[in-house]
Structure 1
Amino acid sequence: MTEYKLNGLHCNKCSINLEEKLNQFTTHTKVSVDYENSKLLLDESDVDIDQIKKILEFEKITMSEMDDTNISSEETQTVNDSHGHKHGHHHGIESIMNQKTSKKMMMVFSLNLIFSAGEFIFGFLFNSIAIMTDAVHDLGDALSIGLASYFEKISTKEANDQYSFGHLRFSLLGALITSVILLGGSIVVVFNAVPRFLNPESVNHEGMFWLSIAAIAANGFAAWLMSRGESRNESAINLHMIEDVLGWVGVLIVSIILNYTDWYILDPVLSIAIASFIIYKTWPLFKETVEIFLEATPKHLSRQKIEDTVLSVQGVTNVSHLHVWSIDGNEHAMTVTISTPKEEMSEIEAMKERIRADLSGFSINHTTIEIVYDPKNTLTKD
């Protein structure tokens, strides 16, 4: 048995369908597609490898050799014996992970909603503009987290006729909305803190102290939950929680100092400083998410290097209309037109296969390559 690395598998359903297609060209053994690890396992003596490659090319999936391609017969038997429950096992893991993410978001949503209501009440009772402002911000957090949770669930859906690339960008939409609310909430903090900076007022520092202890514990727990996630959506929410923890640490410090002094100006000063820090941290996330929606070339990719990579493939004489964009920030797509003097279909197919294999190193797994036949090398790049 030989093991290959697959690039371009973007959903479990697709891997199941692919496996069914590939197994039409075997006689005694089974071709196994491991979606979780992006691997293909097959017996080259029992399949037509050219047919396998042709199917993968049609599905825009590239296949590359692993460092250790030889699997023992015992391991092979284990794979074949366990084949019947392989996909069900992965579906279970995927389902559990999605459920965990959703549950975490709903828990954080509930914490923020309850705490924002409490902050409005205690902020009024303690005459603290910092607490009242944070109450507005926490309410915005709760609303944005609720939306983010909804979009995160949608993002796990498979591709369909309307969303041919899948629903991955719905997670980005949640991150975008969360970032906007985070930026807006921080600006509100600044605008509400400035008048207090110019005209400080006394506050109930003892009430602020105990409320800040409870808030740090609640928001710290929420931040810990979201720090274990991997999506941009969860990262944006985690930033929310960190902001809230920092804000309440500021309130705690101010309450302690005010217990011994009357430096009430510290409250708005800390609020402005924390809000400015959050704006500084949130802006790059907001900007990058907007760039993905606008289909800009991912900033960590060099369009020139990609063009040079395509031109380096034997038979390619020129490149035009090269467009690279990101689907969700991790997986990228590309369309390109190339010219070539080659006319044999087998040579053209080999050339396209080489291009796709080379581009997989850029995390470009969705490629559309248009060929312009140029026998006289009219289009050859100088």
Structure 2
Amino acid sequence: MAHAQGPSPDHAGHDHAAHDHGHAHGHHHGPVDTGDWRYAVGLIVNLAFVACEVGAGLWSGSTALLADAGHNLSDVLGLAMAGGAAWLARRAGGPQKTYGYGKATVLAALANALLLIFACGAIALEAVQRLDAGAEVQSRIVMMVAGVGILINLGTALLFMRDQHSDLNARGAYLHMLADAAVSIGVVIAGAAILFTGWSIIDPLVSLAIVAVILFGTWGLLKDSVNLALDAAPRGVDVEAVRAAFLSIPGVSAVHDLHVWGLSTTDTALTAHLVHDRSDPEALLAEAHRMARARFSIHHTTLQLEAGPLPDCPDC
């Protein structure tokens, strides 16, 4: 919808009397299907398994099994935060929260990444302390419990696999569960090696190797969540490509004040000023919005139209 508007405060001092200004708001405020039930299922199953794994780890004397339990516990907490954030994101905003609670999903993703790094540090510390301990490990119990862990973790990961590329929290949960499955596989291998060689030192060494793998896989999640927390453009959205797409619309001669940021881990917002020479601003606004939605999956756009070139516009 195009509205007549007075001079823009961003360009005070210039004569805008002959300029047409328009705003188009393409809002997509319906609740995102975050699959809250998946977090509940993951929480219940993994919390029960953590309790069993801690008992088995203490009984068998396995550092790797206790490390796996600690990592699973971090995932339980991460799932709780991600599920809570997904619930918050579905709530409508109030007078002071005009964007709603979608940003809670970003904060949860960031906390999830930091929690995983902290868990890795705790696992590594315990493994190093056990290197010289030489405690006996009951490898058969270790292998059996870790084997169950593989099935539980892979099953939980499958719940989030579909949405891992479109929702940062789903991606965090997916990575967590895959990391846990990798830990469990490593624990099974460690148990088998100890069973056939009798070398208990294999247990903490495998734990350290698994920590390195988990940290490598967590870096991308941490980077993406920090970027979204800083209102950077979401991963997969090239701002210069967005600018070029607007400039490719017939009649648009310049684009300035272009901003793209994440409202949540799933929704992206955009604001921009388009300089044009067209006589049909309503049609231009509709075309620009359709382009942003179709090419970049940006459903929340705010566009201001300005007729003719603007002087002193460094980012046009």
* TM tier relative to shorter chain: 0.7 to 0.9
Task: Kindly provide the CA deviation profile for residues 216-259 of structure 1, in whole angstroms up to 9, marking residues without a partner as x.
Answer: 33333333334355543233222222222222222222222222
Aligned to 2:64, which of 130, 135, 140? 130
Matched, 1:271 2:237: no
Matched, 1:354 2:290: no
2: CA distance between counterparts of 1:379 and 1:310?
Answer: 20
Matched, 1:195 2:126: no
Task: Kindly provide the CA deviation profile for residues 159-181 of structure 1, in whole angstroms up to 9, marking residues without a partner as x.
Answer: 54344334433333333322221
304-313 or 290-299, which moves further after superposition?
304-313
1:329 positional shift = 4.6
Percentage identity across paired residues of the two chains = 26
TM-score normalised by length of structure 1: 0.65
Counterpart position of 2:9: none
1:270–1:165 distance in 2 versus 1, CA, 3 Å: same
- Letter in structure 1 aligned against 2:302: T
Provide structure 1 residue ranges, at least 5 long, that are not aligned to the other structure: 1-56, 63-90
1:374–1:380 distance in 2 versus 1, CA, 3 Å: farther
Counterpart position of 1:247: 183
Matched, 1:236 2:172: yes
Counterpart position of 1:261: 197
278-287 or 320-329, which moves further after superposition?
320-329
Aligned residue runs from structure 1 range 12-31, under 5 A: none
1:299 positional shift = 4.2
1:310–1:281 distance in 2 versus 1, CA, 3 Å: same
Aligned residue runs from structure 1 range 1-382, under 5 A: 59-60=25-26, 101-197=35-131, 200-227=134-161, 231-340=167-276, 346-360=279-293, 361-374=295-308, 378=311
1: CA distance between counterparts of 2:183 and 2:27?
Answer: 47
Structure having the higher Rg: 1
300-309 or 121-130, which moves further after superposition?
300-309
1:340 positional shift = 4.7
- Secondary structure in structure 1 of the residue aligned to 2:256: strand
Is this contact kept in 2: 1:208–1:255, CA < 8 A?
A: yes
1: CA distance between counterparts of 2:277 and 2:149?
Answer: 69
Task: Kindly provide the CA deviation profile for residues 255-288 of structure 1, in whole angstroms up to 9, marking residues without a partner as x.
Answer: 2222221222221222122221111112102211
217-226 or 266-275, which moves further after superposition?
217-226
Task: Kindly provide the CA deviation profile for residues 162-203 of structure 1, in whole angstroms up to 9, marking residues without a partner as x.
Answer: 443344333333333222212221222222222333554321
2: CA distance between counterparts of 1:197 and 1:129?
Answer: 10
1:58–1:222 distance in 2 versus 1, CA, 3 Å: closer
- Letter in structure 2 aligned against 1:132: L
TM-score normalised by length of structure 2: 0.77
1:257–1:326 distance in 2 versus 1, CA, 3 Å: same
Counterpart position of 1:38: none
- Secondary structure in structure 2 of the residue aligned to 1:270: helix
Is this contact kept in 2: 1:108–1:145, CA < 8 A?
A: yes
- Secondary structure in structure 1 of the residue aligned to 2:193: helix
RMSD: 3.2
Provide structure 2 residue ranges, at least 5 long, that are not aligned to the other structure: 1-22
- Letter in structure 2 aligned against 1:131: L
1: CA distance between counterparts of 2:222 and 2:127?
Answer: 24
Is this contact kept in 1: 2:146–2:188, CA < 8 A?
A: yes
Q: Which has the higher contact order (CA 8 A, sep 6+)?
A: 2
1:222–1:260 distance in 2 versus 1, CA, 3 Å: same
Counterpart position of 2:18: none
- Letter in structure 2 aligned against 1:347: D
2: CA distance between counterparts of 1:295 and 1:320?
Answer: 18
1:138–1:358 distance in 2 versus 1, CA, 3 Å: closer
1: CA distance between counterparts of 2:250 and 2:81?
Answer: 49
- Letter in structure 2 aligned against 1:275: V
1: CA distance between counterparts of 2:201 and 2:229?
Answer: 42
Is this contact kept in 1: 2:194–2:203, CA < 8 A?
A: no
- Letter in structure 2 aligned against 1:302: D
1:307–1:267 distance in 2 versus 1, CA, 3 Å: same
1:212–1:318 distance in 2 versus 1, CA, 3 Å: closer
1:275–1:372 distance in 2 versus 1, CA, 3 Å: same
